[in-house]
């Protein structure tokens, strides 16, 4: 069954090529297609295109289909082109001609736009929750190990004193910027394209404000041409936000792999997060973080993939956009896997509290000595030269106490301010509004 079917046969190979993976990928969108249809037909009844009895019957069947989706029982049958066709077919089988009325004032173009927005909105919330969980673990470990010093590096050379409080906290604060990017993606996503039809509106007197409110959107994509132009643009913008998070996690994974190695021995990863060698019995390889690093690096290519698919398209709908689903829809699950694995490891990671017993790190206290001499009145450049000459002569004796007090330093991590910053961003999402709208649509329609 195809919603556009006419009186001619479609070549099977052409159909295979054009449908592609749509039937498989549309399962991601099934719940959201049903929610969108509930809102759309509620609006259709309000403008006289459905009777109250027809609406009641359709909503009851859509609620049943929605429950099927949640139970994992919904399938797109062989020969059915997409999720939209499957839902309409199920309604027509159960209700006859009434089921054929749900497409009035709607195109598959704005239907899939809506499905993608609802799906993406839900996934952005899940990603935000996972980012917040990882953030909380990082802040907790930053506080727990705030007094444990470690070497800081520049050019991969031992440079200056750092601390595990700084190391964990740095990644926590990085996630606040990522979350801000995620919130921007959420706001651009949380606008209603339904009613734009094939990109030029409809002669039916559609009430787009009503469907916007029913679905819990902040506003609508007002211009119907722009609503269609938003296909691909939304995915690209969201992909940049996902890539920003992936960049933070990939860097953290790299650090952890390096610090876990015998040559550093700064941290010990949980045994269950490592694997062994088939030939070397002593090996404990950081495979979880290595795979996390690779997956996150792959996710950082996602914006470019989407850009290159949609890059040279004029306004209006083109079938090219279908291919974006193949790289976009699975990306959320992959990033969430990485976030959850990283939070698990950070919760259980063990820190070496005696790193600085090794004399190889003595020289990182040279700047502390320069600053001490400068504080006593010696010109900074003279103090720098004196300490440098002492090092060259093998006479430098480090004092391994540090007294950093300024904001964001070893002795003043500002974790409370970073936590407040994250909470303010979190509160700005207003996830509750969306949840309440969707629950009301399903249970009280």
pLDDT computed for residue 22 by the predictor? 73
Q: Which residue has the tokens 């449908």?
A: 19
C-alpha dihedral sign at 17, 18, 19, 20: positive
What distance in Å separates the CA atoms of residue 414 and residue 331, rounded to the nearest whole number? 33
Structure confidence at residue 274 (pLDDT): 84
Q: What is the pLDDT along the chain (445 residues), one digit of tens a residue?
A: 454 454 546 666 766 666 667 778 899 999 999 999 999 999 999 999 999 999 999 999 999 999 999 999 999 998 898 999 999 999 999 999 999 999 999 999 999 999 999 999 999 999 999 999 999 999 999 999 999 999 999 999 999 999 999 999 999 999 999 999 999 999 999 999 999 999 999 999 999 999 999 999 999 999 999 999 999 999 999 999 999 999 999 999 999 999 999 999 999 999 888 888 778 877 888 999 999 999 999 999 999 999 999 988 888 888 889 999 999 999 999 999 999 999 999 999 999 999 999 999 999 999 999 999 999 999 999 999 999 999 999 999 999 999 999 999 999 999 999 999 999 999 999 999 999 999 999 997 5
Query: Is residue 201 within 8 Å of residue 212, measured between CB atoms?
Result: no
pLDDT at 4: 41
Of 249, 252, 286, nearest in space to 270 by CA: 286
Q: Where are the domains of the chain?
A: 12-103, 108-204+224-356+414-444, 358-408
Contacts of 253 (CB under 8 A, 6+ apart): 289, 290, 292, 293, 296, 342
Q: Please, what CATH class does the domain formed by 12-103 belong to?
A: mainly alpha
Structure confidence at residue 444 (pLDDT): 77
The one-character DSSP state at 220 is E
pLDDT of residue 104: 96
Q: Give the DSSP H or E segment for 268.
A: strand 267-268
Alpha-helix residue ranges (DSSP H) falling in 148-200: 164-189
Establish whether domains 12-103 and 108-204+224-356+414-444 are of one fold.
Answer: no
Nearest-angstrom CA–CA distance, 21 and 435: 30
Establish how many alpha carbons lie within 13 A of residue 229's alpha carbon, considering only the half-sphere containing its beta carbon: 10
CA 405 to chain centre: 35
- Tell me, which fold does domain 108-204+224-356+414-444 have in CATH? Fumarase C; Chain A, domain 2 (1.20.200)
């Amino acid at each position: 069954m195809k919603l556009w079917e006419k009186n001619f046969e479609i070549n099977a190979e052409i159909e295979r090529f054009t449908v592609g993976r749509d039937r498989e990928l549309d399962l991601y969108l099934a719940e959201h297609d049903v929610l969108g249809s509930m809102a759309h037909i509620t609006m259709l009844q309000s403008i006289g295109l459905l009777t109250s009895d027809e609406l009641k019957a359709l909503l009851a069947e859509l609620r049943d289909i929605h429950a099927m989706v949640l139970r994992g029982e919904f399938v797109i049958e062989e020969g059915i082109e997409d999720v939209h066709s499957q839902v309409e077919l199920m309604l027509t089988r159960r209700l006859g001609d009434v089921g054929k009325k749900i497409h009035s004032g709607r195109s598959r173009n704005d239907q899939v736009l809506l499905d993608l927005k609802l799906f993406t909105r839900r996934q952005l919330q899940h990603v935000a929750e996972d980012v917040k969980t990882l953030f909380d673990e990082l802040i907790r470990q930053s506080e727990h190990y705030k007094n444990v010093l470690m070497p800081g590096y520049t050019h991969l050379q031992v440079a200056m004193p750092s601390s595990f409080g700084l190391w964990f906290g740095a990644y926590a604060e990085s996630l606040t910027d990522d979350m801000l990017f995620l919130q921007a993606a959420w706001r651009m996503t949380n606008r209603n394209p339904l009613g734009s039809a094939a990109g030029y509106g409809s002669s039916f007197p559609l009430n787009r404000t009503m469907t916007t409110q029913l679905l819990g959107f902040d506003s609508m994509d007002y211009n119907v041409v722009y609503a269609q132009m938003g296909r691909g643009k939304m995915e690209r913008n969201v992909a940049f936000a996902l890539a920003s998070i992936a960049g933070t996690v990939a860097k953290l994974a790299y650090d952890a792999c390096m610090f876990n190695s015998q040559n550093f021995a700064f941290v010990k990863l949980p045994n269950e997060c490592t694997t062994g060698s088939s030939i070397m019995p002593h090996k404990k390889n950081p495979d979880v973080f290595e795979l996390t690093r690779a997956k996150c690096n792959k996710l950082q290519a996602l914006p470019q993939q989407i850009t290159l698919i949609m890059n040279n398209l004029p306004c209006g709908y083109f079938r090219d956009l279908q291919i974006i689903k193949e790289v976009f829809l699975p990306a959320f699950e992959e990033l969430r896997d990485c976030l959850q694995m990283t939070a698990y490891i950070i919760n259980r990671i063990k820190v070496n509290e005696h790193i600085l017993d090794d004399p190889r790190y003595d020289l990182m206290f040279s700047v502390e000595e320069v600053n001490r001499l400068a504080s006593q009145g010696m010109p900074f450049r003279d103090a720098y030269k004196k300490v440098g000459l002492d090092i060259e002569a093998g006479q430098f004796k480090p004092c391994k106490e540090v007294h950093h007090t300024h904001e964001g330093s070893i002795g003043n991590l500002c974790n409370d301010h970073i936590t407040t910053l994250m909470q303010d961003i979190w509160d700005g999402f207003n996830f509750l509004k969306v949840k309440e709208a969707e629950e009301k649509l399903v249970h009280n329609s």
